[in-house]
Homo-oligomer: A and B are copies of this chain.
Amino acid sequence: MEDCKVIFYPEGRTVTIQKGMTLLEAASRAGIYINSICGGDGVCGKCKLIVREGSVSAEPTNLLTREEIQRSIVIACQTRVNSDVEVELPLETRLEEAQILTESHRKKKFIGLFSPVEEVEGLEKLEKGISFSHSPLSTKIFLEIPPPTLNDSISDLQRIYREIRKHKKLDALHTGLPNIKKLGSLLRRAGWKVTVTLGTRDQITEILQFEEGDTSRSNYGIAIDVGTTTVVAALLDLNTGKLMGTKANYNTQISYGEDVISRIIYASDEDGLHRLNYTVVENINALISSLALEHNIRLSDITAILCAGNTTMIHLLMGINPASIRQEPYIPTANFFPVIRAAELGIKINPRGLLATIPGVSSYVGGDISAGVLASGMTDSDDISILMDIGTNGEVVLGNRDWLICCSCSAGPAFEGGGIKCGMRASKGAIQTLRIDLVNNTVDFDTISGAKPRGICGSALIDAVAEMMRWKIIDRAGKFRHELPSERIRKTEEGWEFILVESAKTATGSDIVINELDLENLIRAKGAMFVGTEFLLKKVNIDFDSVKNFYIGGGFGNYLNIENAVTIGLLPDIPLERFQFIGNSSLTGAKLALLSTSAYRRSKEIAEKMTNFELSVEPSFMNEYTSALFLPHTDLYKFPNVARKLSWVKENKCPLS
Contacts and interface: CB of A to CB of B under 8 A. Distances in A.
Nearest to A320: B181
A261 interface: no
B155 A331 contact: yes
A180 B334 contact: yes
Contact of A202 (B174, B177, B332): B174
Contact of A323 (B154, B184, B332): B184
A300 interface: no
A504 interface: no
Interface string A595-622: 0000000000000000010100100000
A157 B318 contact: no
A333 interface: yes
A268 to B, nearest CB: 11
B334 A157 contact: yes
Interface stretch (A103-111, A145-153, A557-565, A644-652): A145-153
Interface string A328-345: 111111111110100010
Contact of A334 (B148, B158, B344): B158
A609 to B, nearest CB: 14
Contacts of A331: 148, 153-156, 184
A336 B172 CA distance: 13
Contacts of A332: 155-156
A216 B249 CA distance: 48
B204 A324 contact: no
Contacts of A188: 324
A575 to B, nearest CB: 36
Contact of A336 (B158, B176, B328): B158
The SS class assigned to the A binding surface is loop
Interface in A386-412: none
A15 interface: no
Contacts of A154: 331, 335
A588 to B, nearest CB: 25
Contacts of A272: none
A61 B203 CA distance: 61
**What is the count of identical protomers in the complex?**
2
B148 A180 contact: no
A332 B181 CA distance: 11
A200 interface: no
Given A204-B203, A344-B177, A333 B184 contact: yes
Contacts of A329: 148-150, 153
Contacts of A153: 329-331, 362-363, 612, 614
Interface string A305-333: 00000000000001111011000111111
Given A184-B324, A323-B184, A333-B156, A172 B612 contact: no
A155 B366 CA distance: 12
A614 B188 CA distance: 22
A150 B614 contact: yes
A323 B186 CA distance: 12
A319 B324 CA distance: 43
Contact of A335 (B158, B203, B337, B344): B158
A574 interface: no
Given A148-B329, A338-B177, A172 B203 contact: yes
B324 A157 contact: no
A318 B177 contact: yes
A637 to B, nearest CB: 33
A32 interface: no
Interface string A124-165: 000000000000000000000000111001111110000000
A244 interface: no
A643 interface: no
B150 A338 contact: no
Contacts of A338: 174-177, 180
Contacts of A286: none
A183 interface: yes
A336 B162 CA distance: 13
B204 A337 contact: no
Nearest to A337: B180
A623 interface: no
B318 A150 contact: no
Nearest to A362: B153
A185 interface: yes
A155, A176, A344 interface centre (most CB from chain B within 10 Å): A155
Contacts of A362: 153
A335 B150 contact: no
Contact of A181 (B172, B176, B180, B318): B318
Contacts of A150: 328-330, 614, 617
Interface in A329-380: 329-338, 340, 344, 362-363
Contacts of A333: 155-157, 180, 183-184
Contacts of A155: 331-336
A172, A180, A336 interface centre (most CB from chain B within 10 Å): A180
Interface string A179-204: 01101110010000000000000111
A502 to B, nearest CB: 50
A188 B321 CA distance: 13
A314 to B, nearest CB: 11
A262 B377 CA distance: 64
- The list of the 9 closest CB pairs from A to B, nearest first, reads A157-B334, A184-B333, A155-B335, A150-B329, A148-B331, A155-B332, A156-B333, A155-B334, A172-B203
Given A153-B330, A180-B334, A181-B319, 8 more contacts: A150-B329, A153-B363, A154-B335, A156-B333, A172-B202, A177-B340, A184-B331, A204-B204
27 contacts: A149-B329, A150-B328, A153-B329, A153-B331, A153-B363, A153-B614, A154-B331, A155-B332, A155-B334, A156-B333, A156-B334, A158-B334, A174-B338, A175-B338, A176-B340, A177-B319, A180-B320, A180-B333, A180-B334, A180-B337, A180-B338, A181-B319, A184-B320, A184-B321, A185-B323, A202-B204, A203-B204
